[in-house]
């Protein structure tokens, strides 16, 4: 745990403490119906390149779309964890008919019992069914597909799996989880994401990997160049389907799925279910079984509040006060644009905080390194555009700070879903102008 920062107190004089954080009954009524003063300069409103290499305009880190008005009261909510009865799984991990090596790896990872989505989907996937899994973020969907998928690959030497995810980080994270659970099973893999060397990916593909994880755009690049032969894949996983559709990947996904072996098993995981997703699933699956273990809003176990500020100096001071608070031990701060993120990161660094930044203009290596550093406690503050809000799982995030308001309520939920993961508690604070 690190709560002490070795910096001299260089901030401008400020009202100390957390007096700016109001209780749930706080000031939500008048005076905040406009975010006008906060509108950034037009030049700052766009992240020029998409994190996936320019193919999905909706994913441009947050600046590209006009902001929806979100009533401040929606940023205030007490956590509701206490009311939840503890889920009693029907199965123990040992009950699943999966290869012993995988079970050993699950135990080594420290998973004691299956989460609800794992408990209910793993048996179905093992039976060979197409499955649609709907569950809140942070409830273990990755292992829900990775465990039975790995078993399938170990037991059927001619099977190959392809996993699609909306962002590079998520794809990397999924592959990491596959390594963890598939350790010692000899399964080759390839990670096909934008911003990384095509050449090295082609080399990995020449070894006929049994597992391919990637973002739809880069997967398509390889398909077009003839370096990835989809008909040889007979196990397909789509993770965060809702995000992928939001990001404009629907055509790529349809194209990819139509080229994968017809004789395949397909899994779809998502935090939400919308008509668009249903249509996609209908078209590309066989008699799918839907398992939905959503309970309440994804964000119900995050304690949410707002921080009012007047002017940019006061805003920075309030942020500084929060960050030196003992309980703020691992924080993600969201800001609108790449430039805003850079600027804030520099300012916090100058103030002695251990901070790194991620946004769409950073190289993939820099983005991965920032997340690794956060996981390893080398830094405890990550400043990010919305690219970081999608599917990143860093445990022990105590605070999510919206230094700028999100574009939509949906973006808000994804941002604050980075905390309070796996049953832990978390705090989300949204800065609003007075």
Closest separation in Å from C-beta 46 to ligand ADP:
29
Q: Which of these ranges, 138-146, 324-332, 352-360, 369-377, lies near ligand ADP under the rule CB under 6 A?
A: 138-146
Query: Cα–Cα distance between 93 and 114 in angstroms, integer?
Result: 6
| Residue 159 binding partner per list ligand ADP, Mg ion, none, with a CB distance cut-off of 5 to 8 Å that depends on partner kind | none
**Which of these segments, 34-42, 134-142, 243-251, 331-339, binds ligand ADP (CB under 6 A)?**
134-142
Q: Which is nearer to ligand ADP, 18 or 424 (CB)?
A: 424
Q: What is the DSSP string of 66-82?
A: PPPP--GGGG-B---GG
- 390: contact with Mg ion by CB under 5 A: no
Give the separation between CA 148 and CA 106, rounded to whole angstroms.
Answer: 12
Pick between residue 269 and residue 353 the one whose CB is nearest to ligand ADP.
Answer: 269
315 Cβ contact partners less than 8 Å away, ≥ 6 residues apart: 309, 403, 431
User: In Å, what is the CA distance from 413 to each residue of 337, 405, 418?
Assistant: 19, 12, 9
Residue 347 or 396: the one with the smaller Cβ distance to ligand ADP is 396
8 A C-beta contact, residue 125 and residue 146: no
409 CB contacts (<8 Å, ≥6 apart)? 68, 70, 74
Q: How far is the CB of 94 from ligand ADP (least distance, A)?
A: 13
Sheet holding 331-334, edge to edge: 302-309, 426-433, 399-402, 331-334, 381-384, 355-358
Whose CA is closest to 171, among 130, 215, 111? 215
Give DSSP secondary structure letters for 213-281.
EE-HHHHHHHHHTTSS-GGG--EEEE-SHHHHHHTT-HHHHHHHHHHS-SS-EEEEEES---HHHHHHH
Please give the residues from 363 up to 402 whose contact with ligand ADP meets the rule CB under 6 A: 393, 395
DSSP characters over 83-108: GPPPP--S--GGGS---HHHHHHHHH
Task: Give the one residue of 50, 139, 303, 430 binding ligand ADP; rule: CB under 6 A.
Answer: 139
164 binds, among Mg ion, ligand ADP, none (CB under 5 to 8 A by kind): none
Q: Measured from the CB atom, is 51 or 138 closer to ligand ADP?
A: 138
Residues 78-117 that bind ligand ADP (CB under 6 A): 111, 114-115
- Number of residues lying near ligand ADP (CB under 6 A): 16
Partner from ligand ADP, Mg ion, none contacting 414, C-beta within 5 to 8 A by type: none
Binders of ligand ADP among residues 413 to 432 (CB under 6 A) are: 421-422
Q: Which is nearer to Mg ion, 105 or 167 (CB)?
A: 167
- Whole-angstrom CA distances from 163 to 121, 140, 399 are 17, 16, 30
Q: One symbol per residue from 116 to 155: x for binding Mg ion (CB under 5 A), - otherwise; what is it?
A: -------------------------x--------------
Q: Give the residue with the Cβ less far from ligand ADP, 141 or 264.
A: 141
Q: What does the DSSP assignment read for 180-204?
A: HHTTTS---EEEE-TTS-HHHHHHH
Closest residue to bound Mg ion by CB: 141
- Closest CB 165 distance from Mg ion, rounded Å: 8
Cite the beta strand spans of 289-416 per DSSP E. 289-292, 302-309, 331-334, 355-358, 381-384, 399-402
Q: Contact with ligand ADP (CB under 6 A): which of 137, 234, 304, 305?
A: 137
Q: Binds 115, which of Mg ion, ligand ADP, none (CB < 5 to 8 A, cut-off by type)?
A: ligand ADP
Interface with ligand ADP, residue 141, by CB under 6 A: yes
> In this chain, which residue has its C-beta nearest to ligand ADP?
140
Joined tokens for residue 24: 């749930």
Distance in Å, CB of 421 to ligand ADP, minimum? 5
Binding region for Mg ion (CB under 5 A): 141
Binding region for ligand ADP (CB under 6 A): 111, 114-115, 118, 135, 137-143, 393, 395, 421-422
């Amino acid at each position: 745990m690190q709560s002490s920062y070795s910096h001299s107190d260089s901030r401008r004089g400020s009202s100390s403490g957390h007096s700016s954080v109001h209780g749930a009954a706080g000031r939500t009524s008048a005076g905040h119906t406009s975010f006008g003063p906060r509108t950034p300069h037009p030049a700052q409103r766009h992240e020029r390149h998409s994190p996936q290499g320019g193919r999905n305009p909706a994913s441009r880190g947050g600046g590209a779309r006009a902001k929806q008005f979100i009533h401040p009261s929606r940023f205030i909510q007490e956590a509701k964890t206490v009311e939840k009865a503890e889920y009693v799984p029907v199965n123990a991990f040992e009950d699943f008919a999966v290869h012993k090596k995988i079970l050993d790896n699950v135990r080594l990872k420290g998973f004691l019992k299956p989460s609800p989505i794992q408990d209910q989907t793993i048996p179905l996937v093992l039976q060979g069914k197409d499955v649609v899994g709907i569950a809140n973020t942070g409830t273990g969907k990755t292992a829900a597909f990775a465990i039975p998928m790995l078993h399938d690959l170990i037991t059927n030497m001619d099977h190959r799996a392809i996993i699609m995810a909306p962002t590079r980080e998520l794809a990397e994270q999924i592959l990491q989880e596959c390594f963890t659970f598939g350790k010692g099973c000899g399964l080759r893999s390839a990670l096909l994401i934008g911003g990384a060397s095509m050449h090295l990916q082609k080399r990995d593909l020449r070894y006929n990997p049994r597992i391919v994880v990637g973002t739809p755009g880069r997967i398509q690049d390889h398909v077009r160049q003839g370096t990835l032969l989809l008909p040889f894949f007979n196990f397909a996983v789509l993770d965060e389907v809702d995000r992928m559709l939001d990001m404009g990947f629907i055509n790529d996904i349809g194209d990819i799925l139509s080229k994968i072996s017809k004789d395949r098993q397909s899994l779809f995981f998502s935090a939400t279910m919308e008509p668009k997703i249903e249509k996609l699933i209908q078209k590309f699956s066989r008699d799918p079984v839907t398992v939905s273990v959503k309970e309440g809003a994804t964000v119900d176990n995050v304690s949410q509040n707002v921080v009012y500020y007047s002017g940019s100096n006061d805003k920075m001071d309030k942020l500084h006060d929060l960050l030196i608070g003992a309980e703020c031990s691992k924080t993600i701060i969201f800001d609108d644009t790449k430039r805003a993120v850079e600027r804030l990161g520099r300012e916090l660094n100058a103030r002695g905080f251990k901070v790194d930044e991620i946004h769409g203009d950073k190289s993939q290596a820099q983005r991965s390194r920032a997340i690794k550093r956060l996981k390893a406690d080398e830094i405890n503050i990550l400043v990010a555009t919305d690219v970081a809000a999608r599917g990143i799982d860093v445990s022990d995030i105590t605070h999510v700070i919206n230094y700028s308001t999100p574009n939509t309520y949906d973006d808000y939920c994804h941002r604050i879903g980075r905390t309070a993961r796996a049953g832990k508690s978390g705090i989300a604070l949204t800065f609003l102008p007075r």
